[in-house]
A and B are shown apart, each in its own frame.
Chain A
Amino acid sequence: MTQEFRLKDEGLIDRSKKISFKFNGKKYFGYEGDTLASALIANGVHLVGRSFKYHRPRGFYGAGVDDPYALVQLIRNNETIPNIKATEQELFEGLEAKSVNCWPNVNFDIGGINNFLRIFLPAGFYYKTFMWPKSFWYRIYEPFIRKAAGFGVVTHEHDKEKYEHKYEYCDLLVTGSGPSGLASAYSAAKNGAKVILAEDKPRFGGSLLTSEVTIGNQTGKEWADKIVTELKEMPNVVVKNRAQVFGYYDHNMLVMSERISEHMPKTEKFMPKQKLWYIRAKEVVISSGSIERPIVFGNNDTPGILLSSAAKEYMKVYGVLVGKKPLIFTNNDSAYETAIEFKKNGINPIVLDSRKELNSDLITEAKNLGIDIKFEHVVVNANGYRKVKSADIAKISEDKTNLGKIENIACDCICVSGFWTPTIHLASQSGGKTKFNEDIDAFIPSQSKQNETTVGSANGIFNLNDTLKNSFEAGYELSKKITSKENKLSVPAVVEKKNSKHDKFWCVPLPKGKKYKRFLDFQNDVAVSDIELALREGYRSIEHVKRYTTLGMATDQGKTSNLNGLQLVSNIENKVVPEVGHTTFRPPYTPVSIGAIVGREVGKHSKPTRKSPMHSWHEKNNAVFVDAGLWLRPRYYKKGNETLFDASKREAENVRKNVGVCDVTTLGKIDVKGPDAAEFLNRVYTNAWLKLPVGKARYGVMLREDGIVMDDGTTTRVSENHYHMTTTTAQAANVLSHLEYYLQIVWPELNVNVVSTTEQWAGAAIAGPKSRDLLQKLFPETDCSNEGLPFMGFIETKLFGVYARIFRISFSGELAYEVNVESDYGNFMWEKIIELGEEFKIQPYGTEALSTLRIEMGHVAGSELDGRTTPFDSSLEGLLSKKKDFIGKRSLQKEAFISPDREKLVGVVPLDKKTSIPEGSYIVRDANAKLPNPKLGHVSASCWSVEYNNPFSLAIIKDGKNMIGQKLFALSPLKSKSIPVEIVSSHYVDPKGERVRS
């Protein structure tokens, strides 16, 4: 294929590097430096997609981020990526892209039928219909609508790309490398500031790449190149292209996404696709420029119609002609630059200027070049379906209401300029106020909320001389505040053309009897008539208009449509634009990759994984792990073909019969130290702590202030002023924060310090009737007898030379000990226990057996203490001191908490002694009662009692203690189970607690 629309010499592309690519299956060529859009235009391709609602043909409207049309499906490295903007995607060898939202293809799209039905499909039509018959919305209409909507496709597979994050601090962040950005960055950098300059496009220079100006004795582009080269060499400056600052967050945190490899075929294995920069800037210069506004006329969405600035950019940057019979339609001077550029390239444009004949540097130059200019003329309507073929033009009256005789002129493109809209998104996102500037008919930033300064055309300044002056000044003043240096540069002299005043005109009236669709929002097909309808129906707030018509809600977020929409609303409502107001600007400025926002925290790394020092031993011994918060804990150790049930039963039985060992490293451990430690514990726990002797442990319960149980655990008095507290695995972090809160804020008079020691200690629980025998083997020189180490006793000793702590505490209800050694010796301890335990038939047991053991003993755990239960509910009332105050005590008087109706902990056994009761079942009186069936309470935990060899459950039921002996039902409708049960005591095994003391 020849590149028929490629100019001979012009442009910044590298013609020595020819690139082949495919679009809709067809092979084309472009050059390095092209975008997909410019390469397609060079090949005469203007039809790239279909619009959202009416499936109208879509081409290119802009040349960058502002383009509302050209979304394609990209195939890169065998991955298909939806919704890529052809105007931003840089061309690379082998690039493949396809049109979206069309079937069977972009030239002939069945969905295009919507275009013919469009009179029945005005704004919000779906609110008025699809209601009958009732079930049809979900079954018939909605699936149909869903299919028709959406653009690209995404597959289920994981993203193979990598994304990185970087945190950076700087004195000055400059967002955009046009003249204002370069001047600010340069002036600040020369004054010693640490500067980051970010440019969204591959090339630096912004408008200087396409404008005909002189700065000093150089062209605009030469000057830009020189400044960028110099900035790049300065150690205090970071210069980034392909980097979009998309969000301005609180306290001058800005976020920028940098395309690292997205624009090329992937080569290096570890190269990330994008890098997300979190930049905390002391000052921000917003130099994001401005976007050209459309003028609205009939069928102004036809492919071949585009912004005049885009046409110029395609010529000057990419060396591409958007057409050979161009019509230029403008209300201001800037489009004349485009006309002149066409003319210089041998093309004869016709300019339609809505203004009365006037003169300015540019207009004179155009006239001198012999360009055909029709003043007081407008484009009324564009003809052509897949590509513009001709335009209906007419003279327009001075008040812009009456059209003269319609004339048809042939054209293959229409370049539109309705003046410029400052890009105020970032300034507005920062929380700053905006104001409407009558001179330019647009909003500009006014009051800043954060340390931010907007310069250049983003601030509504459209001449280069003032832009440079202000930007040099801003860069100097801002940097001076930070560096206290006074190295001020002189502003270079500028030669530029003076512009005449633009025309406050943005929408061409309809000729009599014509009903042309005049589009405001090109992607979402929002036309003037839609806005009129919304207002007619009372949707008058700009937010209502936006939501009812979907104006500005497309992927371009209204960059080209919002202001014209506001103009229209204000005209119809007879208000001025600032009264109508704009909708809120929120991040992101342009759509940003979700993968980039997330970075490396994906897959296994989406959350940290905590492992005990004995983890590798567990792995080697066929442990099946379970997540316990961030920890991985052995759930059971699988032998042969055992199921979870088999294995946990074997492990639990072995604890009851012989001895077992369980990794309890994950329990939270907190050192509580200081002369007031006892007093502190006495306030934190519900029971008494003042008289706990050194070398003794005690079980304690702590409440939240609302009276609900927060956590439980044992705390041991290690020495006079030193306590070792344990918490549940789940609550460890919360308990520490809770303790710190009370110590630092509520009772600062207490001389106590707390620190987490969870990671310092490896813990092993040794439980079972033979545990003492094993312990004695492990600690031959320590007196492990019932007298030497009684229940709730504690000793410090040595495990074959390694410092160790032994706590005689039990969660399983058996005679049990917990041994702690420093984490590094955890594996040593564990292996010793296994080795010496062999003769006692020791087996490791996991959390499942642990659960079984605690359930049949009636010990409460997380499934009972679920953040809703009081101590009364969970059979912990014995631990409530009547003599002292403690956290949450005052709440325990509440009517509901002491009501006899309150749900209490009980045991449940199936009458058949065979059927396990699923956890989460409810206890009811009548299994067949009409719904809603009144619930007595729920089953919180179930196990297979290894003691009695039948199922046993814990439940929390109304008036629990008085229900013992009653025969009720456990219902699990989810599992279609209805089980006759008897309510028993929650202490199913060893109710007197003799074993732990034996």
Chain B
Amino acid sequence: MLFIKCPYCGIRSQNEFAYGGDATVKRPELNKEISDKEWDDFVYNRKSPRGKHLEFWHHISGCRQWFKVHRDTATHEIFKTLKPHEEL
């Protein structure tokens, strides 16, 4: 069971959190003309790396804040957790 440090609440067990997917995918700005490819890259296409992965988690049974987790997808080692607008 993962032990995840919520940047707002501190370290908690995995059951308090919900996963939110790849955090490197950025939603295109509203009203911006973009290609089909750019849109599909946002909606569908994922790198899904083996190794370091920056991802969103949601402290759903806690402070209800979304945040980023930098985790190894092969070992589940968590290197760092960040607020949504912090960069690695």
- Show the binding face of A for B, using Cβ within 8 Å: 249-253, 278, 280, 431, 449, 683, 705-706, 737, 740-741, 744-746, 748, 884-886, 890-891
**Interface residue B42 (Cβ < 8 Å from any Cβ of A):** yes
Whether the Cβ atoms of A745 and B56 lie closer than 8 Å is yes
The answer for the CA separation of A891 and B42 in the assembled complex, in Å, is 11
* Residues of chain B within 8 A of A251, CB atoms compared: 1-3, 76, 78
- Among B13, B20, B30, B39, the residue within 8 A (CB) of A885 is B30
Q: Is the CB of B58 within 8 A of A737?
A: yes
21 A-B interface contacts by CB (under 8 A): A249-B1, A251-B2, A251-B3, A278-B1, A280-B3, A705-B43, A737-B18, A737-B58, A737-B60, A740-B66, A741-B58, A744-B65, A745-B84, A746-B27, A748-B85, A885-B30, A886-B30, A890-B28, A890-B39, A891-B39, A891-B43
Give the distance in Å from the alpha carbon of A886 to the alpha carbon of B1 in the complex: 37
Q: Are A253 and B66 in contact (CB under 8 A)?
A: no
Question: Could you say which residues of chain A place their CB within 8 Å of the CB of B84?
Answer: 744-745, 748
Interface of B, helix, strand, loop or mixed by DSSP:
loop
CA distance A351 to B12 in the complex (A): 57
Contact A741 B20 (CB under 8 A): yes
Residues of B within 8 A of A (CB): 1-3, 13, 18, 20, 27-28, 30-31, 34, 39, 42-44, 56, 58, 60, 64-66, 75-76, 78, 84-85
Q: Which residue of A lies closest to B39 (CB)?
A: A890
User: How many whole Å from B63's CB to the nearest CB in chain A?
Assistant: 10
Q: Does A253 lie within 8 Å of B1, measured CB to CB?
A: yes
Q: In whole angstroms, what is the CA distance A791 to B72 when docked?
A: 54
Q: Is the CB of B76 within 8 A of A250?
A: yes
Report Cα–Cα, A741/B56, bound state, in Å: 10
Residues on B with C-beta less than 8 A from A280 are 3, 13
The answer for the CA separation of A705 and B42 in the assembled complex, in Å, is 9
A740 adjacent to B64 (CB under 8 Å)? yes
Check A744 against B75 for contact (C-beta < 8 Å): no
A706 B43 Cβ-Cβ under 8 A: yes
Considering the chains assembled together, what is the distance between the CA atoms of A886 and B27 in angstroms?
12
For residue A585, give the distance in angstroms from its CB to the closest CB of chain B: 16
Q: How far is the CA of A683 from the CA of B60 in the complex (A)?
A: 23
From B1, B43, B56, contact of A250 by CB (8 A): B1
**Chain B: CB-nearest residue to A249:** B1
Of all A-B residue pairs in the complex, the 10 with the closest CB atoms, nearest first, are: A251-B3, A885-B30, A253-B1, A885-B31, A744-B66, A745-B84, A250-B76, A890-B39, A746-B27, A705-B43
Residues of chain B within 8 A (CB-CB) of A706 are: 43-44
Determine whether the beta carbon of B34 is less than 8 Å from that of A431: no
Determine whether the beta carbon of A431 is less than 8 Å from that of B43: no
**Complex: how many Å from CA A184 to CA B76?**
28
Q: A431-B75, A748-B84, A890-B28 given. 10 additional CB < 8 A pairs?
A: A250-B2, A251-B2, A252-B3, A253-B3, A737-B60, A740-B58, A741-B58, A741-B66, A744-B66, A745-B66
CA distance A515 to B61 in the complex (A): 64
> In the bound complex, what is the Cα–Cα distance between A249 and B42 (angstroms)?
33
A253: which B residues are within 8 A, CB to CB?
1, 3, 13
What residue of chain A has the Cβ atom nearest to residue B67's Cβ?
A744
CA distance A891 to B20 in the complex (A): 21
* Cα distance A250–B2 in the bound complex, in angstroms: 6
Q: How far is B25's CA from A878's CA once the two chains are assembled, in angstroms?
A: 31
Distance to closest chain B CB from A984 (angstroms): 36
Contacts of A890 in B (CB 8 A): 28, 34, 39
C-alpha spacing A240/B28, complex, angstroms? 56
B residues near A431, Cβ cutoff 8 Å: 75
Distance, CA A111 to CA B16, complexed state (A): 52
Task: Output the residue of B20, B44, B66, B75 with the most chain A CB within 10 A.
Answer: B66
Cα–Cα, bound, A890→B34 (Å): 9
Q: Give the docked Cα–Cα distance between A744 and B63 (Å).
A: 12
Cα A431 to Cα B78 with chains together (Å): 14
User: What are the residues of chain A within 8 A of B39 when measuring CB–CB?
Assistant: 890-891
Collect the chain B residues with CB atoms within 8 Å of residue A745's CB: 56, 66, 84
CA distance A251 to B81 in the complex (A): 15
Please tell me if the beta carbons of B43 and A449 are within 8 angstroms of each other in the complex: no
Query: Considering only CB atoms, which chain B residue lies closest to A278 in the complex?
Result: B1
Chain B residue nearest to A745 (CB atoms) is B84
Distance in angstroms from A689 CB to nearest chain B CB is 14
Docked complex Cα distance between A371 and B76 (Å): 56
Shortest C-beta distance, A158 to chain B (Å), equals: 26
Q: Which residues of B contact A885 (CB under 8 A)?
A: 30-31
A contact residues around B27 at 8 Å (CB): 705, 746
Q: How far is the CB of B78 from chain A (nearest CB, A)?
A: 8
* Shortest distance from the beta carbon of A882 to any chain B beta carbon, whole Å: 12
- How far is B77's CA from A431's CA once the two chains are assembled, in angstroms? 11
B20 neighbours in A (Cβ, 8 Å)? 741
Residues of A within 8 A of B76 (CB): 250-251
Tell me the smallest distance from the CB of B22 to a CB of chain A, in Å: 12
Nearest neighbor of B65 in chain A, beta-carbon distance: A744
Q: Which residues of B contact A891 (CB under 8 A)?
A: 39, 43
Distance (whole angstroms) from the CB of B57 to the closest CB of chain A: 11
Return chain A residues, CB-CB under 8 Å to B58. Answer: 737, 740-741
Smallest CB–CB gap between B27 and chain A, Å?
5
Chain A residue with Cβ nearest B20: A741
Docked-complex contact A449 and B30, CB < 8 angstroms: no
A740 to B58, CA, bound (A): 9
Residues of B within 8 A of A746 (CB): 27
Q: How far is the CB of A431 from chain B (nearest CB, A)?
A: 6
Query: Bound state CA distance, A280 and B14, in angstroms?
Result: 12
Shortest CB–CB separation between residue B49 and chain A, in angstroms?
Answer: 19
CB distance from B66 to the nearest CB of A (A): 5
Closest to A449 in B: B75
CA distance A431 to B56 in the complex (A): 24
Q: Which residue of A lies closest to B18 (CB)?
A: A737
Bound CA span A745–B22, Å: 12
Rounded to whole angstroms, the CA-CA distance of A249 and B28 in the bound complex is: 38
Q: Return A891 CB to nearest CB of chain B, in Å.
A: 7
State the CA gap A744–B59 with chains docked (Å). 12
Question: In the docked arrangement, what's the CA distance between A532 and B38, Å?
Answer: 57
Interfacial chain A residues near B42, Cβ < 8 Å: 705
- Complex CA distance for A252 and B66, rounded to whole angstroms: 25
Q: Which residue of A lies closest to B66 (CB)?
A: A744
Q: In whole Å, how far is A861's beta carbon from the nearest beta carbon of chain B?
A: 26
**Most central of A251, A252, A706, A748 by chain B CB within 10 Å:** A251
A429, chain B: closest CB distance, angstroms = 13
CA distance A885 to B32 in the complex (A): 9
Complex Cα–Cα for A737 and B60 (A): 8
How many Å lie between the Cα of A425 and that of B13 in the bound state?
A: 24
Q: Which residue of B lies closest to A706 (CB)?
A: B43
- A199 CB to closest chain B CB (Å) equals 24
Which residues of chain B are near A705, meaning CB under 8 Å?
Answer: 27, 42-43
Residues of B within 8 A of A737 (CB): 18, 58, 60
Chain A residues near B56 (CB-CB < 8 A): 741, 745
Task: Enumerate chain A residues within 8 angstroms of B85, measured Cβ to Cβ.
Answer: 748
Bound: A278/B76 CA distance, A: 19
Closest CB-CB distance, A748 to chain B, in whole Å? 6
Complex Cα gap A575–B47 (Å): 39
For the complex formed, measure the closest distance between the CB of B4 and the CB atoms of chain A, giving whole angstroms: 8
Instruction: Tell me, rounded to whole Å, the shortest Cβ–Cβ distance linking B87 to chain A.
Output: 13
| Distance (whole angstroms) from the CB of A510 to the closest CB of chain B | 45
Closest to A743 in B: B66
Whole-angstrom CA separation of A552 from B74 in the bound complex: 26
Q: How far is the CA of A253 from the CA of B1 in the complex (A)?
A: 6
**Complex-state Cα separation, A886 to B3, whole angstroms:** 36
CA–CA, A356 and B61, complex, Å? 67
Shortest A608–chain B CB gap in Å is 13
Instruction: Please give me the residue from chain A that is nearest to B44 by CB atom.
Output: A706
Q: Across the two chains, which residue of chain B brings its CB closest to A705?
A: B43
CA distance A463 to B13 in the complex (A): 40
Q: How far is the CA of A737 from the CA of B31 in the complex (A)?
A: 24
By beta carbon, the residue of chain B nearest A754 is B64
Give B62 Cβ to nearest chain A Cβ, in Å: 12
